[in-house]
Amino acid sequence: MELEKRKRGLGWKITVLCLLLAGIICASVCISGYHQYRASTFRTYNDFAYKLAATALAYVDGNRIAGYLEGGGTDAAYDEMDRQIYTLYKNTGLTSIYICVPDEAAMTVTTIYDVRVHDAQNPQAYALGVVDPIGSDDPQKVVDVYRTGKRPDDYFIRKNSFGYNTSAIVPVRNDAGEVTALLLADLPMPFILENLNAYLLSTVGITVVLVFLIIFGYLRFLQKRVVMPIQFLTKNAEAFAKCRTGFLDEMLNIHTGDEIETLAAALAKMEVDITKYINNLARVTADKERIATELAVATQIQTSMLPCIFPPYPDLKEFDIYALMQAAKEVGGDFYDFFLIDRTHLCVVIADVSGKGVPAALFMVIAKTLIKNHAQAGMSPKQVFEAVNDQLCENNEAGMFVTAFMGVLDVTDGSFTYVNAGHNPPLLSTGGAPYDWLKSKRGFVLAGMEHMKYSQQQITLFPGDSLLLYTDGVTEALNPREELYSEARLKAFVNSGRLDGCTLEKQLHLLRQELAVFADGAQQADDITMLILRLNEKGDQNG
């Protein structure tokens, strides 16, 4: 009984699908045929409107247009033109014949003639000399005809207060061949629409009958050649799912010569593969858990390598410092560091290793260690980067590199000596002024090429000055629209006043919240690292 219900359900779904397909086919055929017939009919009808407009044009003297505009009055020629055009208007079913002179600059037209003035009940008729906005869905097209004297490539169909019409626009020329005015003739569309509706009804009826006859025959074929074999395969799959024992031999004996046979062979293979997979699942799961545990330990180790106790030097009141890092993966390639070279010199470092994950983290450990060792040996920032660069280039078969910024602050006089190896320029606020980019010579990245030379620079910081270091994970943070946070947004945020009066820790956390709001749930693509340093007072040279 359960199998019978499933059969009826599958047959019902196929029937609904086929009926839906039939409906789509019918709709596509009818819509396509309707639009093709409509376009052809509209073009033919519009051509007829142009023929009538050409007939009316024969009654118009283009040499007299300027005189009608200037004098504002009519003459015998005007009256004869009116008589001839009005006769054409009454005998052809046109809804309007209108002569005007467009003004391209003002997008207006000045009326020369409107056949509807003969209809006393028509308040929309325009008298000679009346200026009115161009009454068209595409006024520029009217102006183009007046300027070029050429018929538009497409045709006018307008539905407005004058009715539903197809319009013809022809230029009125004087004896010199110059366009002096435009003649517009409107032909009503209701007759054409009736023909279109009749065509649509007949097309729909014939298409529906033919398509549904074909679909009915195809449904019978599917029931016999598809539904029943699939039900047999379903029964075997259900047995395997319940007790891990299917009808492997019976499925391999299905020989229909089509996709059903292929499906049976695939199900048989699937039973074998699933059995093997279940047997190996415990081992694979254990391996993943081990890797996850190792990555968690690696994350803890990397975090512990970075200074994470704040304030780091409670006894030193000359400066405040705070930093944070958020890796895009379990471990990252960004790092920051700060340490005292001696009692009066503080070294700050921020760097970004190419790539992410474990390889970048390992390279980061090497770079961080080398920089700190050389700096504590008394080398200048320039000498540190030159020595570290050469060491990192040795056996760098993976082609990894590091962008880095290093600076040494002398707390006795506020001098700050720094060097930049291809890293983002820091932001500096000095003398109470807004943050601006620290001018620095951007040298080549570390580990990129041996024997590179770097240039160090020096500025003087004063009490209250702040320096913000960061990696490109800040400025290149993406939102769901794939827009970058950008250096401009970073500079605007730190100068917005939201950081005023906050501790350094609060300032960096506010910036991190700003990045999270900008990302709007988008996955973090790169490590985010920030470090902020503020000079509070200058210290004693004797320490």
Per-residue pLDDT tens digits for 167-194? 889 999 999 999 999 998 888 877 667 7
To the nearest whole number, what is the mean pLDDT of the chain? 84
Q: Identify the pLDDT of residue 415.
A: 96
Q: Identify the pLDDT of residue 7.
A: 47
Domains 10-194 and 308-535 alike in fold: no
Write out the two tokens for 495: 């100068």
Q: For residue 311, is the peptide bond before it cis, meaning its omega torsion is within 30 degrees of 0? A: yes
DSSP string covering 152-170, please? -SS-EEEEETTEEEEEEEE
Under DSSP, the state recorded for 62 is: G
Handedness of CA 258, 259, 260, 264 (dihedral sign): positive
Q: Identify the pLDDT of residue 426.
A: 97
Core vs surface per residue 261-275: b (16+ CB within 10 A) or e? eebbeebbeebeeee
> Across residues 50-78, what is the average pLDDT?
90
CB 384 within 8 A of CB 375: yes
Q: Which of 176-180, 481-485, 523-527 has the lowest mean pLDDT?
A: 523-527
Q: Which of 257-266, 316-325, 521-530 has the lowest mean pLDDT?
A: 257-266
Tell me which residue of 542, 543, 538 sits closest to 413, measured CA to CA: 538
Q: How far is CA 364 from CA 60, 341, 372, 397, in A?
A: 88, 21, 12, 16
137 pLDDT tier (thresholds 50, 70, 90): low
Residue 4: pLDDT over 60? no
Per-residue pLDDT tens digits for 418-462? 999 999 999 999 998 999 999 999 999 999 999 999 999 999 999
Q: How long a stretch of residues is the chain?
A: 543
CB 80 within 8 A of CB 95: no
* Domain 10-194 bears CATH identifier 3.40.630.30: no
Measure the N-to-C terminal CA separation of the chain; round to a whole number of Å.
93
249 pLDDT tier (thresholds 50, 70, 90): low
Write out the two tokens for 343: 């009692």
Write out the two tokens for 521: 């749930």
Query: Residue 60, SS3?
Result: coil
Cα–Cα dist 471/334, whole Å? 7
Q: Which residue has the higher pLDDT, 239 or 180?
A: 180
What's phi and psi for 422, nearest 5 deg?
70, 20
Residue 140: pLDDT over 90? no
Cα–Cα dist 177/31, whole Å? 45
Contacts (Cβ under 8 Å, ≥6 apart) of 129? 69, 72, 110, 111
34 pLDDT tier (thresholds 50, 70, 90): confident
Q: Identify the pLDDT of residue 8.
A: 54
Q: Identify the pLDDT of residue 250.
A: 66
CB 436 within 8 A of CB 424: no
Query: Residue 197, SS3?
Result: helix
Q: Are strands 131-133 and 427-429 parallel, antiparallel or unpaired?
A: unpaired
Residue 221: pLDDT over 70? yes
Q: Identify the pLDDT of residue 124.
A: 67
Q: How far is CA 483 from CA 318, 352, 412, 489, in A?
A: 40, 21, 43, 11
Q: Which of 212-221, 290-299, 325-334, 400-409 has the lowest mean pLDDT?
A: 290-299
> Across residues 471-485, what is the average pLDDT?
94
- The whole model's pTM is what? 0.51
Residue 33: pLDDT over 80? no
Fold of 308-535: Phosphatase 2c; domain 1 (3.60.40)
Tally Cβ neighbours within 10 Å of residue 326. 16
Residue listed under structure tokens 């039939």: 22
Cα–Cα dist 341/377, whole Å? 8
Q: Identify the pLDDT of residue 235.
A: 72
Q: Which of 156-170, 344-358, 454-468 has the lowest mean pLDDT?
A: 156-170
Contacts (Cβ under 8 Å, ≥6 apart) of 525? 328, 473, 476, 477, 478
Contacts (Cβ under 8 Å, ≥6 apart) of 398? 359, 363
Q: Identify the pLDDT of residue 138.
A: 72
Q: Identify the pLDDT of residue 95.
A: 83
Per-residue pLDDT tens digits for 74-121? 899 999 999 999 999 999 888 889 899 998 888 898 989 988 888 766
Q: Identify the pLDDT of residue 299.
A: 65
Helices of type H across 314-379: 357-376
Write out the two tokens for 513: 């919240």
Q: Identify the pLDDT of residue 446.
A: 96
Residue 228: pLDDT over 70? no
Given strand 427-429, what is the order of strands in its sheet? 319-326, 528-535, 466-470, 427-429, 436-437
CB 375 within 8 A of CB 312: no
Locate the domains of the chain by residue range: 10-194, 246-305, 308-535
Per-residue pLDDT tens digits for 300-323? 666 778 998 999 999 999 999 999
